[in-house]
Structure 1
Amino acid sequence: MKKRVTLIFPKRAVHMPVTYRLAKDFNVAANIFRAQITPNQVGMLVVELSGDIDQLDAAMEWMRSQDIGISPASREIFIDEEVCVHCGLCTGVCPTEALSLDPQTFRLNFTRSRCIVCEQCIPTCPVQAISTNL
């Protein structure tokens, strides 16, 4: 089973080897999509956890016991077609190639199923046509 979640780390927990503990103690794999971790500050990690349902539940319970906040990662990328100028700058920063330019029409294509919501495209867009639902 897979679950995509956002983990919020309190200041005291940002030094913890959480992904190591998930793998070693619970046999849960953590695919990291986005991380913002800074010493002595609140940290944020967007991950896809995969493993047996019981192991996932135990791992999430352990993280809660460590005061790590867990919420479903349900954000999505939206592209405003009326604002987009199809310049293609976003395609250069998209790590999964969810954004691409059609070679015939030179129009932007967005393959939502490939998007991991890393948000690297948002600051790259010169006309601010890309946003998230949150």
Structure 2
Amino acid sequence: MYSKILILRFPREVAHKPIVCHLVKDYDLMFNILNAQVLPRKEGILVLELYGEKKNFKSGVSFLKDQGVKVTNADQEVKRLEERCTHCGACTAVCPTGALHIRRPEMRVEFEEQKCSVCELCITACPTRAMRIRPTNKMFFE
């Protein structure tokens, strides 16, 4: 079973829709609501731990994004250890968001952290173990 803590931000245009229930019904996922803040005609924020098979998890998160929900990982982030990176490009082949890409003509791997979805594929792809996962210390609500 796969699980992650996610922060879901619902724009006011979709905050009133029953989107999260489709994760259970259509994607066979379970969730535990850890915190929620929904105000009328305002952005809704939901912090939840999502559980299920990894393929269903990915499909469910894609569904949320297709509905206009901004999905971020609450508990971890990917960091690169620059001194270990040999710029081989193995990580760029598996990165689904383009956060890791090769800058040409220098042939150097660039990492745009703001594009990273923390899918963790680069962690296993990196032969020098330059990519690391670490907990974040972000507050869920201001």
Instruction: Sort the TM-score into its range (normalised by shorter chain).
Output: 0.5 to 0.7
Unaligned runs of 5+ in 1: 76-131
Letter of the aligned partner of 2:137 in structure 1?
Answer: N
Provide the residue aligned with 1:63 in structure 2.
Answer: 64
Corresponding position: 1:12 with 2:13: yes
**Displacement, 1:12?**
1.0
Unaligned runs of 5+ in 2: 77-135
Moved over 3 A (4+): none
Provide the residue aligned with 1:31 in structure 2.
Answer: 32
Corresponding position: 1:2 with 2:3: yes
| C-alpha separation in 1, matches of 2:47 and 2:19 | 13
> Could you say what the CA RMSD is over the residues aligned between the two structures, in angstroms?
1.6
| C-alpha separation in 1, matches of 2:52 and 2:137 | 28
**Displacement, 1:67?**
1.1
Paired residues, number = 78
**Displacement, 1:19?**
2.5
1:73-109 superposed Cα distances (whole Å, 9 cap, x missing partner) = 128xxxxxxxxxxxxxxxxxxxxxxxxxxxxxxxxxx
CA contact (8 A) 1:7 1:44 kept: yes
Letter of the aligned partner of 2:44 in structure 1?
Answer: G
1:95-127 superposed Cα distances (whole Å, 9 cap, x missing partner) = xxxxxxxxxxxxxxxxxxxxxxxxxxxxxxxxx
Provide the residue aligned with 1:43 in structure 2.
Answer: 44
**Displacement, 1:18?**
2.2
| C-alpha separation in 1, matches of 2:11 and 2:73 | 18
**Displacement, 1:15?**
1.1
So what's the TM-score if we normalise by structure 1? 0.55
Letter of the aligned partner of 2:39 in structure 1?
Answer: T
| C-alpha separation in 2, matches of 1:28 and 1:19 | 10
1:32-63 superposed Cα distances (whole Å, 9 cap, x missing partner) = 00000112100100000001101000000010
So what's the TM-score if we normalise by structure 2? 0.52
Letter of the aligned partner of 2:21 in structure 1?
Answer: Y
CA contact (8 A) 1:19 1:30 kept: no
Please list, as runs of the form range in 1=range in 2, the aligned pairs for 1:106-121 lying within 5 A after superposition.
none
Say which SS state the counterpart of residue 58 (structure 2) adopts.
helix
Provide the residue aligned with 1:88 in structure 2.
Answer: none
**Displacement, 1:25?**
0.7
